[in-house]
Each structure stands twice: as structure tokens, then as C-alpha cells.
Structure 1
Amino acid sequence: MPEFIIRVGTPDGQITDRHVQASSARAAEDELRQQGMHVFAAKRGALSLRDFLPRSRKAVSTERFLLFNQELLALVKAGLPILQSFDIMLERQKDTRFREILTDIRDKLKSGVSLSDAFASYGNVFPPIYSTSLRAGERSGDLEGVLRRFLKYQKMIVALRKKVITALIYPTVLVTMMVAMVFLMLTKVIPKFAEFYRGFDADLPAFTRVMIAISNGLTDHLLIVLIIAIVLILLARQWIATGGRVIWDRFKLKLPFVGPVMHRFAMMQFTQSLGTLLSGGTPMVPAIEIASQSIANQDVSTKVFAIVQQVREGEPLWRSLEATGVVSDLAVEMIKVGESTGALTEMLANVSEFYDEEIEARLQRLVAAIEPLILVFMGLVIATLLYAFYLPLFQLTSVGQQ
């Protein structure tokens, strides 16, 4: 069995590396999560080609999971027992993978396992916040309320992701068109110009000769260039998937325009998750541990998880978050007011809405700023290429007139 080096946060707030032998990195991570640890990154010593190949996703899509919980909530509200609810949903479930998981969960329920533990056994498929929320609902007897709060949380995350994707579609299309046009000019247009000038035996400007050399190198060694590009992409994916994830996420936060949006999205995930867990009855410390895992950006997740020990020792949440530097001053003040007035869950909901509105406003400004920049850059690139190859033509014309 291969050995994996897992960087984890321990229950007492320490960040350390653990060596685990397991069949896969996911299995090693699950083993440590069951011990109450927060996993930040995983890597292994010896790598094979299989490690670099894309893996099929085992997780259920967010939209499908959202629909499942909507149906479950409706059946629970109607007063149907959980087992009967699962039987009804299994009959209507078309996704093979999800049906297999739900069938196994139903079998676990029949054998006496609780609903929360049954879902927790699929920690690599469902978010930790879900099983924890279910456990809180089981203890309080308010499963309906827990499902309603989780659905609100999930809908907010899904809606925000759709906003981000929608906002970035047009800039992505523009960049793709620009790359395609440059590639076409380098591989098709420039070789024809080069052949034309070769017939005149003209002394070409240095800039034009450089562009011809680039074009020749690309057309003559296109397969090698593609192989190198694919290998670099696979190496980058493997590095990000293991030890480089935190570094990569930290770099993304520093990007102009995009970085602030990513940072606010991470904090919206945390405050929304924490509020959902606390309102469901989860104690503060485990709620922070689980909410930090809901943050997609590992750099922010690491900093937020580091406050666990401070909060466990009695430090107020607002002061611990303020020390991390990842929460805005206004959000810190709102959380401070929530803690002092005993309305922390309501204030966390307000903070997440505040971040949601900020993200939407920044996305609008981002799209408004980036579209003209891309168009101007496209124009400059194409104009530069045209200049490189029409310049010798102008020189030949001027020589002919003399």
C-alpha cells in the first residue's frame, strides 16, 4: 500500500504532517477526518503515470443533491417515515451512482444506523456540514428545520456560483477567440508572408525574422509543443492536487480583479456554513472546524481553522477572526455585535448576505473592466503581427520608388 503525507489540523489547533498508508489519497484523508482532523493537502512520494491522469468524479452533483434534499424535505413535512421516503426517492432516482449510494444508506438505516451516520460514511461524496446538520436535527428532533436551513445555504452557494460562471462566459469566449486567431496567424498566415518575402530575397527587419522563427518552430514541431503543453498541465494539476494547493490558492487571492471576488466568496461560504451549523444546534468549536472545511480556498481555510484553539480557550469569535486578517472590518464588527447581543446566527446570515452583495457588485465591475481590456489587448496583438509583416512590404515599396 502506498504511503501518503497528509497535512492536517488537529483538534487542538495544531497544523502538522501525518504519514498514512492507504489505497488512495482519498482513503487516507477520510481516515484522518474520522479522527476529527481537518485535511489541508495530501501528497505521496513515488508517483506513477496513473497519478497524473484525470480521475472520474465520485461526488454527486450539487444540483442533484439539492433536488434530493428538496424532495426529502417535502416528504418529511408530509409526515412520511425516513425509510418510506427513501423508497419513494429511489424509484425516481435516475443517476446510477447516486442510486447506489442512496440504496446503501437505506440499508444502513434498516440495520439501525442513524441518518447522520449513514451520510457521514460517504464523507468523500457529501459535505461534512450536511451530516453534522442532520446529527444536530436528530438530537433536537427538528429534522425538518435542519433540512430547510441546509437548503437555504445550498441554494445561496449554487446561485452565487452561477452568477460567477455567467459573468465569466463572455470574457472566456473573447480570450478563446484571441488565442485561436493568434494560432491561426502563426500557423497559416505568417508562413505565406514568409514565402512571399523569400521570393524577393529581401533583408527583413529583426522583428519580422523573430516572428517567422516562432511560426516555423510552431508549425514544424506542433506535436512536440502540444505534448509539452499537456505534460506541463498534468504536472501542474498534480502539484495543485497535492502539496501545492495552498500556494496556488494563495496566489489566486493576489490576482487583480479576480482575487477580491474569490476572497469574498470564501468568507461567504464560511459565514453561511457557520450560521447554518450554529442555528441547528452544533457547538461553536466543531461548527468552526466543519465550516472551515466548506471553504474552497485552502489558504483561507487554513487561516480560519487556526482560530479553533483560540475559541476553545474562550477567545471571542470576532477577535479570533480579526487576528487572521481574512475578514473585513465591517464583518468583524457585525459578528462582534452578534456575539454581544446573543444574535450571532442572525448576524452571520447578515454577514453572508453582505458578502453576497459585494461579490455581485464586484463581478459587475470586473466584467465591465475586463471586457474592454481584452478587446484592446486583442487589437494590439493582431496589430503587432500585421505590423511585423507589412513593414517589409512598405520597405520594398519605398525602395522600388527610389
Structure 2
Amino acid sequence: MSSAQYARIKLGNQDKISFLSNLGTLLAAGIPLLDAVGSLLEDSKGGQKKVMETLRADLMQGKRIYASLSRFPRAFDKITVNLIRAAEEAGTLEVTLKDLRDHLQQEIEFNDKVRFALLYPLIILFVFIGVMLMMLVLVVPKLTTVFYQLGVTLPLSTRILIFASDLLIKKTFYVIGVGGALAFISYFIYSHKKSFVLNILFSLPLISQLVRQIDLARLSRSLYLLLSSGLPITVALELSAQVVMREQTAKMINRSREMVLSGKKLSEGFRTSKKSLPTIMTRLIEAGEKSGSLDKSFQEISNFLSYQVANSLKTITVLVEPVMLVGIGLAVGTMMMAIIGPIYGLVGQVKFR
């Protein structure tokens, strides 16, 4: 396969966990590496099979595991590749594979918490949009016919509702076309101005604090994993800068790395970003530097920040749900008034007659 073909291969999280776990288990049982890869190849399929075939072929040629896995940048990130490289040099491959598996599982669980916390408001929003569309397509046209036949005077809100209904029914392809064009433009802007769009999104109230905590939690987990595997602090910082979302956090990491390269402590570099880092994080880093257990300090920081993220997600959910419900209630109420208002007017006309 060409380099471009290797680069297109992607593994799902469960496939990566399976690969790391099974390979680590076989190696821990004393099975030679090439035989272990051959055993995994027998049960693999899809993208995982291509990875295993390439890995086996490379091993037979005398190449190392990290060199083979680095061919698949979409399947194995630089952190994974560098950790495996360090483990091969230190002779602790099976231990590192287990650590990588645990790290990936924690990352999946962490992301799932974030995803599920945001899922409920989205479900409410989509249900509301579905109900609105159903009303505009099925209910409003029937009432419109009745109103026009009886010559009912319609208020502005009802006329707007009828206009929206007619637009959806009679100009469906135009609506779809405009919607598709807006979606394409949005995607184009996001693709070419991703940093700009994300900076705006990450600066929104509530979201900015949450994203900062998520970034620091990911940073701490990555640094713990990298440092505990024996990688130098400068390499660990360089790799960890790639796992964060905020540009400000990445700049803070790179700035701290430069300070470490100049002979200063990591805590001194982080201390220059007091607004971005909680005080407890800096204190724990200082303690880790003094005791020579910086990796353990980052493990404690990771646990603390993960707890903070969970609390922030609960807070956001508690705040967003009632706001959304009130907004949806107002929108539904306005629609119902636009429908019921002319009906009451019609009843009044009948009584008057």
C-alpha cells in the first residue's frame, strides 16, 4: 500500500482497545511478538486486519512496532506511537500496552460523559423542531383552508404561520436548497477558519469554563501516561499540546516547554498562566517536582479535574434544561395562540350572527 492508503485507514476505539489489550495479554503470557501478531491477524477484519498484516510484514523485515504503527496516523496518534517506542527501548512493552488500554478506556468514558450530558438538550430541541414541522405541514394547511373559506380576519402571527407553512409545502425544494447551501457555507467556513470558529464557540459563557477544564484534564492524563513511561518532560509536553482543544492552552503548554528547555521548572512555566490554571494544579506540580514523582502529581490532577468536569456538566445541564423548556414553551404557546386566536374570532362571529 502507498503512504496515502495507510493514512486513510482508521480504527474505532473498540478496535484499538481490543488490539492493545489482546497484544498485551499475549506478550504477558510469554508468547513471542511475531506469533502474537499472527494470532491476532487470524481473528481480525477490516481496517484492523490491514494494520495487523502490515505489522506482521514489518516485523518479519526486522522493523520495530512503533515504526510500523506510525504508518497509520489516523489509527494511532503520536502519543501512542512514542509510548510504544519508549516501551520497546525499555523492554516494558506489555506494561505500556496495558497502560495505553486503560488510558483509552478512561478517555472514552470521559468523552461519553460529556456527550451524554449534552445529548438531552439536543433531543429536546430536535423533538421540538419535529413537532413544529408536523404542525406546519399537517395542521396549519387544513386550518388555513377553513379560515379563508369563512373570511376570518387573521392576525399577523397567524399570517406568518401560514406563510411558513406555504413555504414548506409549495417551495419544498427551494427550502431544501437554501438549507443545503447554508450547511455547505457553514462547513466551508468551519473547514477554512476552524480556529476562529472554535475560539468564538469556546468563549461563550459556561462553555469556556467547561472546555478549559476538559483541556486541563486531558493534558494531565496525557502527561501522567507519558512521564510514567519514561519520556522526557519536553517530549511529553510537545505531544500533550496536540490533545487539547483551546489554542490558548496549547500556547501555554508550548511556552512552558520553552521555559523547561531553558533550564526552568515546569511549575514556573505553568505559573505564568495563573488565569488558565487552578492553583491546586500548580501546587501539586511543585510538590511532584520536589518529591521526584511528577507523574503521580499529574495523576492526582487528572482525577481532580475529571471530578470538576463532571460537576460542571451537571451544572450546565441544570441551567440549560429549564431555559430550553421555557423557550420551547413560549414558542409553542405563540404558535397555539396564532392558531386559536382566529378560531375564537370565528366563534365570536358565529355568535354575533
Structure 2 length as normaliser, TM-score?
A: 0.90
In 1: Cα distance, 2:9 partner to 2:350 partner: 69
Give the structure 2 partner of residue 284 of structure 1.
Answer: 233
Residue 265 of structure 2 is matched in structure 1 by 316
Deviates more, 1:316-325 or 1:153-162: 316-325
Indicate which of 76, 98, 119 corresponds to 2:27.
Answer: 76
Structure 2 unaligned residues grouped into runs of 5+:
none
Q: Does 1:175 align with 2:125?
A: yes
Aligned pairs for 1:89-108 (under 5 A) are 89-93=40-44, 95-108=45-58
Matching of residues 114-129 of structure 1 within 5 Å: 114-129=64-79
In the TM superposition, residue 386 of structure 1 has moved relative to its aligned partner by 0.6
CA-CA distance at 1:85 after TM superposition: 0.9
Provide the rounded CA distance (Å) in 2 between the counterparts of 1:179 and 1:254: 27
CA contact (8 A) 2:9 2:72 kept: no
Q: Cα 1:73–1:175, aligned 2, differ >3 Å: closer, same or farther?
A: same
Aligned length: 349
Deviation at 1:70, TM superposition (A): 0.7
In 2, are the aligned partners of 1:270 and 1:294 still within 8 Å (CA)?
yes
Structure 2 counterpart SS, 1:307: helix
Name whichever structure is richer in strand by fraction. 1
Residue identity matched to 2:268:
R
Residue 134 of structure 2: aligned partner: 184
Name the counterpart of 1:248: 197
Task: Give the Cα–Cα distance (whole angstroms) in 2 for the partners of residues 105 and 306 of structure 1.
Answer: 37
Counterpart among 353, 375, 391 of residue 303 in structure 2: 353
Q: Which residue of 2 aligns with 1:10?
A: none
The verdict on how the C-alpha distance between 1:316 and 1:378 changes in structure 2, with shifts beyond 3 A counting, is same
**Counterpart residue type for residue 131 of structure 2:** M
1:364 to 314, 338, 352: 314
Overall identity of the aligned pairs, in %: 22
Task: Please provide the CA RMSD for this pair.
Answer: 2.4
- The CA distance in 2 between the partners of 1:240 and 1:311, in whole Å, is 35
The 8 Å contact of residues 157 and 338 in structure 2, kept in 1 or not, is answered as: yes
Deviations 1:307-326 (A, max 9, x none): 33233223332332343443
Q: What corresponds to 1:62 in structure 2?
A: 13
1:253 corresponds to which letter in structure 2?
F
| Counterparts in 2 of 1:92 and 1:366: CA distance versus 1, 3 Å | same
What is the rounded CA distance, in whole Å, between the counterparts of 1:237 and 1:332 in structure 2? 39
Residues 303/222 of structure 1: CA separation in 2 closer, same or farther (3 Å cut): farther
Change (3 A) 1:307 1:234: farther
Change over 3 Å in CA distance of 1:228–1:336 after alignment to 2: farther
The worse-fitting range, judged by mean Cα deviation, of 337-346 and 318-327 is 318-327
Determine if contact 1:250/1:299 at 8 Å carries over to the other structure: no
Structure-1-length-normalised TM-score? 0.80
CA spacing shift, 1:92–1:297, aligned 2, 3 Å? farther
Aligned partners of 1:260, 1:374: CA distance in 2, in Å?
20
Distance 2:65 2:98 in 1: 16
Q: How far apart are residue 401 of structure 1 and its match?
A: 4.2
User: Structure 1 residue 85 and structure 2 residue 36: aligned?
Assistant: yes
Secondary structure of the structure 1 residue equivalent to 2:14: helix
| TM-superposed deviation, 1:178 | 0.5
Choose which of 366, 372, 377 in structure 1 pairs with 2:327: 377
Structure 2 counterpart of 1:58, which letter?
I
In structure 1, distance between residues paired with 2:87 and 2:267: 26
What's the offset of the Cα at 1:78?
0.9
Work out whether residues 127 and 294 of structure 1, in 8 Å CA contact, stay in contact via their aligned partners in 2: no
Secondary structure of the structure 1 residue equivalent to 2:272: helix
Match of 1:273 among 199, 218, 222: 222
Distance 1:361 1:280 in 2: 30
Q: Deviations over 1:301-358 (max 9, x none)?
A: 3543343323322333233234344322322222222223322100101111111111
Alpha carbons of structure 1 residues 299 and 96: separation in structure 2 relative to 1, 3 Å: farther
Of 143, 150, 158, the residue aligned with 1:193 is 143
Distance 1:201 1:172, change over 3 A: same
- The structure richer in helix per residue is 2
CA–CA distance in structure 2, aligned partners of residues 262 and 59 of structure 1: 26
Report the Cα distance in structure 1 between the residues aligned to 2:56 and 2:173, rounded to whole angstroms.
Answer: 51
